[in-house]
Structure 1
């Protein structure tokens, strides 16, 4: 399987975008499938998108952001990692996480 977006492009998006969301998964991970289903529902209710990446192909990102497991939800604001989610508890929980992420801090 080939990367759909380069590591350099992801790092550029993290740096250049006000908000950027990455969903990291692993091949053959059933927990990842369930987590993405929940995330997809939560994201669609908020009208937001996320970058879906197979962590097997992003060793640099794993090292830089110390990603501990899959599934992983990484939320970036203005180039900074502000939240990591590894336990996708429920759609309600993910809605709360995304709502908090979307709030502007002054």
Structure 2
């Protein structure tokens, strides 16, 4: 079983990394499963990683970032929230989002 990442570590990573991606999900959420499958395709093609975050264990982050629902994709750039996605739509759509996110 993977250890649950602590809120403090997430906040440190947001500040320390040039780009940081959080995939927020909820247990037993089938839409989350489908969304993560699409996200995996895009991130594997691009060779980038993301943090999986079970939102059930991070209510403080839900309040801090005003997360509205699960699944949620939070893209941080240089310590600031760059974009949040709730409707993953399709792999091509996510590719477009990452095209914008990965530009310097």
What range is the shorter-chain TM-score in? over 0.9
Normalising by structure 2, report the TM-score: 0.96
SS where residue 88 of structure 1 aligns? Answer: coil
CA RMSD of aligned residues (A): 1.3
Moved more, 30-39 or 94-103: 94-103
- What per-residue deviation string (whole Å, max 9, x for no partner) do you get for residues 22-60 of structure 1? 000000000000000000001111110100010000011
Name the structure 2 match of 1:33. 33
- Matched pairs, number: 104
Deviation at 1:2, TM superposition (A): 8.0
SS where residue 93 of structure 1 aligns? Answer: helix
- Structure 2: gaps (5+ residues): none
Name the structure 1 match of 2:71. 71
Deviation at 1:4, TM superposition (A): 1.7
* Correspondence 1:46-61 to 2 at 5 A: 46-61=46-61
Name the CA shift for 1:3/1:56 in 2 (closer, same or farther; >3 Å).
farther
SS where residue 34 of structure 2 aligns? Answer: helix
Deviation at 1:3, TM superposition (A): 5.4
* Correspondence 1:82-97 to 2 at 5 A: 82-97=82-97
SS where residue 83 of structure 1 aligns? Answer: strand
Q: For 1:12 and 1:59, how far apart are their aligned partners in 2?
A: 17
* Runs of at least 4 residues off by over 2 Å: none
Deviation at 1:99, TM superposition (A): 1.4
- Structure 1: gaps (5+ residues): none
